[in-house]
Structures are given as structure tokens and as C-alpha cells.
């Protein structure tokens, strides 16, 4: 009967692996083969055996192979290879002499392990510096509240970081194991390899499983975020909350533009909607409405009157992001919407809001910024009727979007 067991000790600690295999033999299990994380045993009726790991760097020329085999004392039998760096031998005869490390094989294993550890560390360092540089540049060049609240840059950066951690942690663990192995090979003099304390096998095994566990967690998080983002992009139709907000905004816009003295009718000519979500926002959307009023012109101009309304709405997952996001929107839109300078802003009586800010100029541009709990809304209006006249309607827009 075969038995599969995870390796409960440091797989790169020579005496720890030897002691574990020997203890399994005392329990009546003989080693069949061993991999990086697990070993296969079979029930055996033979007397308990002692196992030893000897450096082995691969196939040798015929003459050197015969010389190496002749250095193995009688009573030791080749069982299998391990980690591409060792051969495992077993001894049933208690009187058999202990084998010694072959100097040529030890040097070859040392060089191979050293090259592999250096290559892993170099790859991890270069890729880590590259990803850190990209993330830092993206963070410094972006407005972090908007980056966190809107899907796109932040989601892509988060995915890149999680994938790097998921892929890099096992390789980092491998490099650390190789570095420990190099230390043992340097200290090896005959059978004197220090560092293993009996009784720590299971504790060491649990600790070495933490890294793969975290790697799987990071991979699962990346997969979940990627799948959620992709499913949102593939979904058909506008989400109900965005549809409700669009309907309320359109009705509000047309009502606000309804002429009082003129019989000209309002015609909605263009509507644009974008929406999504992010790790820090349950949903966000941007709605752009443009109306045309045939036969009506701007005051003091012969150009056809064509007011516009833009709404940005954020339903945040975390309330601490609301205030920085509001400040960022005020900073950005009071500057970008006025060619001659920054729009003058003023705090209004918040009413049903936690905070309400109005910014406007004489050219017909009005920005209204609202904050309520974890909801942030921006209303950017360009026309001859100001949304500050309908504060209650603005609160209704938040209620519509938050349903």
C-alpha cells in the first residue's frame, strides 16, 4: 500500500530530510520517490533503514561515475534522486560505514545551486523594481482619490501587484532554501552538517506551507478582481442605479431648461453614459446630457442655445475616501472649467447633505459638489439656469442613484 506525505521539514536541510525519512522507515514505510513538496512511501516488512542524502549534480562520464559509485560503502543502496542536487541512499545493515560527500559532486552541486539562487534573486529584483517603478509613477502622476474611486488605473495596478506577489513568493522561498543549502555545503566536512533540531519537523512544515498559502490567496484575489472587472465590461444594459440616475437627471435637466417666456421646445440631442465599479467604490458613473433649443440663442450672442449637464456620481465602499474625493473634484473642476482662471467656490448651507459647495462664473458655468455619507456627486452645468436653484432635486439624484 502506497502512502503520500507532504514533506514536513525544510526540503533543503540535509539532515532534517534524512531524519524524517529514517523515522518513516521506523514506522514501516519505505521511500519510493520524492518530489519538491511530497514523497511516496510503501508499506515494508523490512527492518528499519537509515537514509542519507549525498550531493549529485547529474550524469557523469563513465570513468567518473564508476569512481563516484566506488566511494559509496557497501551496504548502501541508491533509492532515488532528489531536487536535482542529491541522491538518496538507504542502509539496512547497521554495520555499514557512513558514506562521505564526494568533493567533485559537492562542488558541482554548490555551483549549480549558487547559479540558480543568483538567477532567481536577480529576476525577482529586476521585476520587483520594474513593477514598483510603474506603480509609483502611476500613483504620483494620478490623482489618488479619483484613481481609487474609479476602475481603470488602480485596478490594473492592484492586479499587477497581486500577480507579482502570487508568482514571486514561491520563487523567493526557493531562493531562500537554496541559500540555506549553500551554507550547509560550505560547512559540510564529512557528515558534520549542523542546524537541525529534532522535534521541529512539524512546526517547520507548517511554516513552509504559509508561503504557498499566501501565494494562492494573492492569486485568488487577482482572479476575483479580474473576473469581476471582466464580467462588468461584458454585462448587457445599464445597471438599475445608473438607469434611475439617468432618468432623474434627464427629467431635471429638461425641466430646468423649460422656457418661461418663449414657446421654444427643448430637444435632447445627445446623451452619454459611462459606469463601472472599483475595489473602493461599489459603483460610479458619469452622465453627460446636451440639449438644443431651436430658435433660442445665448444671451448677448447669436449662437444657438445648447446647454449641457454633466454628472459624476460615486457610491463609495469606504467612507474615509469621500472627503478627499470631494476635495479632488473641487480642485480639478474649478480649474479646468474656466479658461481665464479658477472658478470661485463657496460653501452653501448643506441642508440634507454633509457638505455642499458651489462654484460659478459669469459665463454660465456652474459646478455643484455634494457629499452625503459615502456618496459624492458633482453637477457641472453650462447654461442660463443654475442647478443651485434646485438643491432638493440634487438630493433626489443621490437618492435615485443610491437605491
pLDDT, one tens digit per residue, over 106-120 is 888 989 999 999 999
Q: Which of 163-177, 194-208, 317-331 has the lowest mean pLDDT?
A: 194-208
Model confidence pLDDT, tens digit, residues 231-241: 555 555 566 66
Q: Which residues pair with 290 in a beta bridge?
A: 270, 308
For residue 332, the model assigns a pLDDT of: 82
pLDDT of residue 399: 66
Per-residue pLDDT reduced to its tens digit, 281-321: 777 888 888 887 777 777 777 788 888 888 888 888 888 88
- The answer on pLDDT for 215 being more than 50 is yes
The answer on pLDDT for 192 being more than 50 is no
Cα four-point dihedral sign 57, 59, 62, 65: positive
CA distances from 33 to 36, 38, 93, 264 (A): 11, 9, 21, 88
Q: What is the mean pLDDT of the chain?
A: 76
Burial call 212-226: b when 16+ CB within 10 Å, e when fewer? eeebeebbebbeebb
Give the pLDDT confidence score for residue 149 in this predicted structure. 67
pLDDT at 118: 92
- Per-residue pLDDT of 74-85, as tens digits, reads 778 889 999 888
Strand order in the sheet with 38-43: 2-6, 38-43, 29-34
d(CA 172, CA 161): 15
pLDDT (0 to 100) of residue 398: 66
The yes/no answer on whether domain 240-402 falls in CATH 1.10.3470 is: no
- What is the pLDDT averaged over residues 362-385? 82
Which range (20-34, 323-337, 377-391) has the least confidence?
Answer: 377-391
Q: Which three cell numbers stand for residue 365?
A: 458655468
Which one is predicted more confidently, 238 or 63? Answer: 238
Averaging pLDDT over each range in 28-32, 151-155, 248-252, 294-298, which range is the top one? 28-32
Q: Where does the pLDDT of residue 139 fall: very low under 50, low under 70, confident under 90, or very high at 90 and above?
A: low
Average pLDDT of span 91-112: 84
Q: What is the pLDDT of residue 21?
A: 92
Asked if residue 65 has pLDDT above 50, the reply is: no
> What does the pLDDT average to over 214-239?
64
- Confidence at 337, pLDDT banded by 50, 70, 90: low
Contact 20, 9 (CB under 8 A): yes
The pLDDT, as a whole number, for residue 190 is 44
pLDDT band at 201 (very low <50, low <70, confident <90, very high): very low
**Could you tell me the pLDDT band of residue 69, with boundaries at 50, 70 and 90?**
low
Confidence of residue 161 (pLDDT cuts 50, 70, 90): confident
% of the chain exceeding 70 in pLDDT: 69
* pLDDT band at residue 361 under the 50/70/90 scheme: confident
Per-residue confidence at 20, pLDDT binned at 50, 70, 90? very high
Cell numbers placing 309: 449637464
Cα 41 to Cα 213: distance, rounded to the nearest angstrom: 25
Find the range with the poorest average confidence among 219-223, 239-243, 265-269, 331-335. Answer: 265-269
Residue 168 has pLDDT above 80, yes or no: yes
Is residue 3 predicted with pLDDT exceeding 80? yes
Q: Considering the chain, what percentage of its residues have pLDDT values greater than 90?
A: 10
Joined together, the cell numbers standing for residue 264 give 421654444
Amino acid at each position: 500500500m502506497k502512502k503520500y506525505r507532504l514533506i514536513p521539514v525544510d526540503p533543503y536541510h540535509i539532515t532534517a530530510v534524512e531524519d524524517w525519512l529514517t523515522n518513516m522507515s521506523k514506522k514501516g514505510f519505505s521511500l519510493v520517490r520524492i518530489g519538491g513538496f511530497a514523497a511516496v512511501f510503501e508499506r515494508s516488512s523490512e527492518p528499519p533503514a537509515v537514509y542519507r542524502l549525498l550531493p549529485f549534480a547529474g550524469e557523469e562520464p563513465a570513468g567518473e561515475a564508476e569512481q563516484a559509485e566506488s566511494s559509496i560503502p557497501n551496504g548502501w543502496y541508491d533509492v532515488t534522486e532528489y531536487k536535482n542536487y542529491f541522491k538518496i541512499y538507504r542502509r539496512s545493515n547497521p554495520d555499514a560505514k557512513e558514506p562521505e560527500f564526494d568533493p567533485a559532486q559537492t562542488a558541482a552541486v554548490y555551483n549549480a545551486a549558487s547559479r540558480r539562487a543568483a538567477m532567481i534573486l536577480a529576476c525577482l529584483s529586476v521585476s520587483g523594481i520594474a513593477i514598483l517603478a510603474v506603480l509609483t509613477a502611476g500613483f504620483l502622476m494620478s490623482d489618488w482619490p479619483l484613481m481609487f474611486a474609479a476602475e481603470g488605473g488602480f485596478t490594473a495596478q492592484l492586479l499587477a501587484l497581486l500577480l507579482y506577489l502570487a508568482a514571486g513568493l514561491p520563487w523567493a522561498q526557493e531562493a531562500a532554501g537554496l541559500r540555506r543549502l549553500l551554507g550547509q555545503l560550505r560547512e559540510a566536512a564529512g557528515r558534520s552538517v549542523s542546524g537541525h533540531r529534532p522535534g521541529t519537523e512539524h512546526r517547520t512544515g507548517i511554516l513552509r506551507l504559509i508561503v504557498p498559502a499566501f501565494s494562492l490567496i494573492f492569486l485568488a484575489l487577482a482572479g476575483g478582481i479580474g473576473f469581476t472587472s471582466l464580467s462588468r465590461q461584458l454585462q448587457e444594459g445599464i445597471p438599475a442605479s445608473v438607469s434611475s440616475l439617468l432618468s432623474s437627471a434627464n427629467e431635471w435637466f429638461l425641466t430646468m431648461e423649460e422656457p418661461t417666456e418663449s414657446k421654444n421646445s427643448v430637444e435632447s440631442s445627445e446623451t452619454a453614459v459611462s459606469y463601472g465599479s472599483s475595489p473602493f467604490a461599489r459603483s460610479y458613473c458619469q452622465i453627460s446630457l446636451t440639449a438644443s433649443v431651436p430658435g433660442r440663442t445665448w444671451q448677448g450672442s447669436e449662437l444657438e442655445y445648447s446647454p449641457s449637464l454633466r454628472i459624476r456620481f460615486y457610491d463609495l465602499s469606504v467612507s474615509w475616501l469621500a472627503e478627499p474625493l470631494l476635495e479632488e473634484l473641487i480642485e480639478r473642476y474649478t480649474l479646468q472649467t474656466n479658461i481665464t482662471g479658477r472658478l470661485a467656490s463657496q460653501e452653501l448651507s448643506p441642508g440634507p447633505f454633509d457638505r455642499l459647495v458651489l462654484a460659478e462664473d459669469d459665463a454660465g458655468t456652474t459646478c455643484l459638489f455634494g457629499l452625503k455619507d459615502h456618496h459624492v456627486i458633482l453637477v457641472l452645468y453650462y447654461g442660463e439656469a443654475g442647478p443651485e436653484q434646485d438643491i432638493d432635486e440634487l438630493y433626489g439624484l443621490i437618492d435615485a442613484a443610491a437605491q
